[in-house]
Amino acid sequence: MGLPMKRSLVILLLMLAGFGAVGPVSAEQVTFRHENVLGTSLELRIDAPDESLARRAETTALGEIDRLASLLSRHAADSELSRWQRGEVAGDSLSVELRDVLSRAERWRLASGGAFDVRAQALSRLWTSAAEKGSLPTDAERIALVAQLNDAPWTLREDGSIERHDALPISLDALAKGYILDEVGRVVRETHPEVSELVINIGGDLRKFGETPLEIEIADPSRTAVGATPLQRFETTRPFALATSGGYHRHVEIAGRRFSHIIDPRSGFPASGIRSASVIAPTAVEADAAATVLNVLEPSEGLRLIESLSGLECLIVAADGSLFASAGWPNRSSLEPLGERLVLTSLGAEDEPGLHVEFTIGRPAGGRYRRPYVAVWLEDEDGFPVRTAVLWIMTEQPGPRWHRDLTRWFRNDRVRKLVEENELIGTISEATRGPGDYSALFDGNDNAGKRLPPGKYVLCIESAREYGSYQLIKETLELGDRPIERKELAGNDEVTAASYRYVPLPPEGERSAPENEADRAER
């Protein structure tokens, strides 16, 4: 379906605490992961009496996702939404699901005072076209489109039919993924009542069914490197939905300036005042829409809207780093004082000392596929692995033995364990990740937290995928008191692009001077 990832904006990590039995029957928790589902990654965590039932529930979930995508996708030419927009499907012949989503879209347009409009796709196309030309849209183009958005897009009649009032393109991306999460959960639970717990995560949008505790980490939108300290952690036991949206990760670039992919339908300009917004709601479709709206409204307006809606809570990170949380947001009192700058670090991410590594996991052609195992580490001149920054492996089903496919890392780690006598698997390892751009930071310390001496090191980026290829990127570099400008490395079938740069560390005992506030706000 190709609905965009929003979360590539703010990263959501799930860790289940005691995801176990409910009732007298002993249950088994099984995790399934798929790529290229609605254009992003899918994670299903199913608690069922046995694995075979969990797999049947997985099949049901995938089938329902495909069915709903065939109705709601704007990317598929043969979807019901696309055919309706071309006039091939009459307004009185629409499916119940498409009518439901269109009805919700209009309610959100009215509730937000026009800050939410599924016809903003016309403005998105305008800015994308401008980026391709290398010049900003003209005021006349922008104003003409905004004027068309002042009127209602359609009329919902009592007989269920829908009459369109304009021919502007429609994108349901800000609703469809959430709607699909809700419906998939409902269908799985109805079809397989033995499933006692269910967590569905599609591209960072989450829907939880059941009462088992679930720990959530919401990443800081300005600190996206692997292992970075999250913005907040909290635990929930109740069923809920969570969505995060932000424009800092996806953007268009025009004349050297970056503009968010989220457009304010009222002005026609890209939203710029919010880094990210996270929303907890009873349903995923509500969380999905609200998170988008909060990126357009001013923080105070967004808070008023959320406080007026039953069961919704939000956390907003403004462009200057200020935090705004609704009254019922989890652990609200643990956040920085509202309205004040949230100082996450004395340095911006670009200037932080250390070796910065960026890499891209490619998307193989075809349908769903397995994620690659990835390790990123530093070796000294003797080949000893002094620091591992990334270790993404299959830690369950069938288990951590799959890290042996990372042959160089595994061989060197066996030598390391003879010296350091500690286990990295289970300490720094994480679940595999899907296609996308990632970053890692080597902070100048070894695995034990001791400062590494200046000298030559080898950066290694190793990847392996079951039924795929094995790849290794190696680069020798000198780390000391001289900076290294960004250097591109040759990619391969799995890691399609990689680069690194180095910001020298200050002498031990000294702290780097913080950047000034104006510079940080400008960024």
Q: What pLDDT sits at residue 41?
A: 83
| Residue with the two structure tokens 């994620």 | 371
User: Which residue type is seen at 83?
Assistant: R
Report yes or no: 43 and 35 within 8 Å, Cβ to Cβ.
Answer: no
Q: What torsion do the CA atoms of 45, 51, 54, 58 make, to the nearest 10 degrees?
A: 80
In the numeric block, which tokens belong to residue 256?
């050297």
Report yes or no: 280 and 313 within 8 Å, Cβ to Cβ.
Answer: yes
User: Which residue type is seen at 393?
Assistant: I
SS3 call for 403? helix
| Residue with the two structure tokens 């696309």 | 82
Tell me the CATH number at 423. Answer: 2.60.40
Please state, in angstroms and rounded to a whole number, the distance separating the CA atoms of residues 99 and 346: 50
In order of 76, 169, 271, 296, 442, the CA distances from 87 in angstroms are: 15, 12, 32, 31, 55
Q: List, run by run, the mean pLDDT of 10-residue segments along the chain (523 residues).
A: 38 35 54 84 92 96 98 96 96 96 98 97 95 94 96 92 95 96 98 96 92 84 71 89 83 87 96 94 98 97 96 94 92 61 38 90 73 90 89 57 71 72 49 80 87 95 84 95 95 94 82 40 35
Residue 174 resides in a domain: no
Residue 128 resides in a domain: no
Maximum CA pair distance of the chain? 76
In order of 117, 149, 163, 270, 515, the CA distances from 152 in angstroms are: 10, 7, 11, 21, 47
Please state, in angstroms and rounded to a whole number, the distance separating the CA atoms of residues 70 and 79: 5
Rounded to 10°, the helix 121-133/139-148 angle is 170
Among residues 391, 57, 6, the alpha carbon closest in space to that of 174 is found at 6
- The whole-angstrom distance between residue 333's C-alpha and the CA centroid of its chain comes to 26
Give me the domain span that covers residue 391: 354-503
Q: What pLDDT sits at residue 190?
A: 98
Please state, in angstroms and rounded to a whole number, the distance separating the CA atoms of residues 293 and 216: 22
190 by Cβ neighbours in 10 Å (0-12 / 13-18 / 19+) ranks as exposed
What's the total number of domains in the chain?
1
Report yes or no: 291 and 279 within 8 Å, Cβ to Cβ.
Answer: yes
In the numeric block, which tokens belong to residue 57?
């529930």
Report yes or no: 231 and 218 within 8 Å, Cβ to Cβ.
Answer: yes
Please state, in angstroms and rounded to a whole number, the distance separating the CA atoms of residues 468 and 364: 10
Q: What pLDDT sits at residue 433?
A: 74
DSSP state of 363: -
**Taking CA 412 as the corner, what is the angle to CA 408 and CA 413, rounded to the nearest 5 degrees?**
115
Residue 249 resides in a domain: no
Q: What pLDDT sits at residue 393?
A: 72
User: Model-level pTM?
Assistant: 0.74
Residue 394 resides in a domain: yes
Kind and range of the H or E run holding 277: strand 274-281
Q: What is the DSSP string of 405-467?
A: GSHHHHHHHHHHHHHH----TTTT-B----SEEEEEEE-SB-TTSPBPPSEEEEEEEEEE-TT
| Residue with the two structure tokens 């069938």 | 398
In the numeric block, which tokens belong to residue 20?
């176990």
- The whole-angstrom distance between residue 507's C-alpha and the CA centroid of its chain comes to 36
Q: What pLDDT sits at residue 136?
A: 95
DSSP state of 372: P
Strands 313-318 and 373-380 come out as unpaired
Q: What pLDDT sits at residue 222?
A: 75
